[in-house]
Each structure stands twice: as C-alpha cells, then as structure tokens.
Amino acid sequence: MAIINGYPVKIAGTGKYIPEKVMTNFDFEKFLDTSDEWIQSRTGIKKRHIAADDERCSDLAYKAGLAALADAGLQPDDLDLIIVATDTPDTYCPCTSAKVQGKLGANNAGAYDVLAGCTGSLTAMLTAIGGVASGVWNNVLVIGAEDFASVLDWNDRSTCILFGDGAGACILTRSEEGGPRFVSGEIVADGNKYDLITIDKEEGTPSPVLRMKGSEVFRFVNTHLPPFLKNFCEKSGVTPAEVDFWVLHQANTRIIDGLFKRLGVSTDRTLVNLENYGNTSAASLVVTLDESMKEGRIKRGEKVMFTAFGAGMTLGALLYEA
C-alpha cells in the first residue's frame, strides 16, 4: 500500500455516457430459460443499456470524456494524458485511448489503455494520481468504458444477463494545499485465479467471448475483499466506520450487502445503481462516482473510499478526502 505523497491530487470533474438502447430482464425471457424474478433475486439487476450497432467502445469513452471536461471547466488541450480502462477495446492495436485523444482533439495529451478487468478504472486512477502527485502531469482524463455487447455469448445465461455497456470519466488534477486530496491507494492481484473471468477466442468463434465461473468469483470476492479493505483502512489510519461514503464497483447487490455487513457499515453510505445498468465492468466505478457527485452524495471534507474487484483476480482501493 502507498500513502500518496507529493503534490495533493483532487477530482476536478466527472462525466458519464450511457447508450440509449435498454434491455430489460423481460427481454431475456423471450429467448432464454430465465425470468425477471430469477435475475433480480440473484443479482439485483432490472435492466442494462446496450451500445448501438454503430457505437464502439471509443465512442462511449469519447462522450463520457466530453462530459468530464465540461464539468471540470477544461478544454481538450489542457489534458496531459488520457487513460482508458476497458476490457472491450475497439482494437487491441491501436489503443482505444489514442482514438479518444483524436476524437477530443487533445493535442497535448499522451494516451494508453489499462486492461485490469473491473478494477481497471481504479487502477488507471491510481496511476494518474501518482503522475500528478510527482509533477509529471497536471491534468489527466481517466475513462472507464465497455462495449460488452461485442463479447457476450447471448445463449450463455450465466453471463449475458449480467453485463451492460456504458462509460464514466473523471479528471484528476493538482489540488490546492488544504483542499480535496487522495490519501492512499493499493492494488493487488492473485494470478492463480486468472481463469475465473476470461475474454478469449474459442474454437468456432470469430471473435473473443466472455466466460465466467460465477460461483467461484462470488466466493473469491466474499473471502478476500472484506479483509483486504479492513487492512487497507488500518494502514490508511481510518476504520471502515469512519468512512463517510463508499464508491463501489457494481457487480451484484448480494456482494455489496455482504461486504457492508462484514465491515459493519450501513448500506446508506453508498450509491447502488446496479439495477439500472448491470455490471459495466471498468466503467462501473466512474459511472457511480459521477452519479454520486451529481446527486450531492459526496460532500466537502468527507472521507470517501473507492473499491473494485475483477478479472485477474484483482482488487483495489483508494481513500479520498473530498
């Protein structure tokens, strides 16, 4: 774990983009052996949004990035770097972030992608924080974006009901002394569990397909995430009870409820939007951040904990003083 030193770093603006097309649980009833009641009871999801046929990951990311720039009162030329966290890039080469940089006209910005499962946007944020804190960059645009419609097997009931498309973004910049700042951050991985969530080519498939061992993922998260967060809080000088608000990766309401129960924290200290979007993977954390900011759930002076988990298997946390 790292206590963040150097220049203080804050969130200057946030944004999101959610595709217009909606797919409800009832839509799945038409072609899968499932039901709205079954999906809701096991996941908490009611609907999810699906990218249009002419929308790709870079399009979603670009629109979220525009919203974050507007919120921060910055122009594209103010950016030093663009990081896109995604599991569903337009192409593996070139990187999706380079396409976003071109669409934005961010002429002074570098660009690269982060591939770290659902922990991707938190990993990208921690990387950006380190760069701003050290003085390498001044303004970094972090985007989490997913086009899961392009990698789902629509006949696999165990996965296709879970995921949705969308993008969230935040801009990280140098803060004034005594202002909002990130306090600490940590990412860990257990590569022995790499096969629990995969997106890979299979025999007879023209493109990569997502597969997940759902019960094993559920067991891993419930076993490893609570002690990871307790340990992170201790090293950061706070207790879970002292955290005012939690920004969580949205994967399953049972995981969220179980986590808070193990931490001894009330669920009214978080925003849950899973029922509207499903699991948007790398986009999830920053979409939730944007909605929490816009709804006034994060207030000046509060302690805010970001946490995510995902393929790899990876875990991450960030502590922020708003």
Is residue 49 part of the annotated active site? The answer reads: no
Is residue 249 part of the annotated active site? The answer reads: yes
Pairing, β 2-3 against β 181-189: antiparallel
Active-site position among 25, 57, 249, 252: 249
CA pair distance 32, 309, nearest whole angstrom: 28
What pLDDT, in 10s, does the model give residues 89-118? Answer: 999 999 999 999 999 999 999 999 999 999
Active-site position among 25, 252, 276, 279: 279
CA pair distance 204, 291, nearest whole angstrom: 40
What pLDDT, in 10s, does the model give residues 216-273? Answer: 999 999 999 999 999 999 999 999 999 999 999 999 999 999 999 999 999 999 999 9
CB-based contacts of 138, cutoff 8 Å, min separation 6 = 78, 80, 132, 173, 174
* Largest interatomic CA distance in the chain: 58
What pLDDT, in 10s, does the model give residues 167-177? Answer: 999 999 999 98
**With the CA atoms of 2, 302, 267 and 46 taken in that order, what torsion angle do they form, in degrees rounded to the nearest 10?**
-90
Q: How many CA atoms lie within 13 A of 130 on its CB side?
A: 12
Residue boundaries of the structural domains of the chain: 1-322
Burial profile 256-279: b = 16 or more Cβ within 10 angstroms, e = fewer:
bebbbeebebeeebbbeebebbbb
Is residue 279 part of the annotated active site? The answer reads: yes
What is 1-322's CATH number? 3.40.47.10
Task: Indicate the pTM of the whole model.
Answer: 0.97
Active-site position among 95, 118, 170, 233: 118
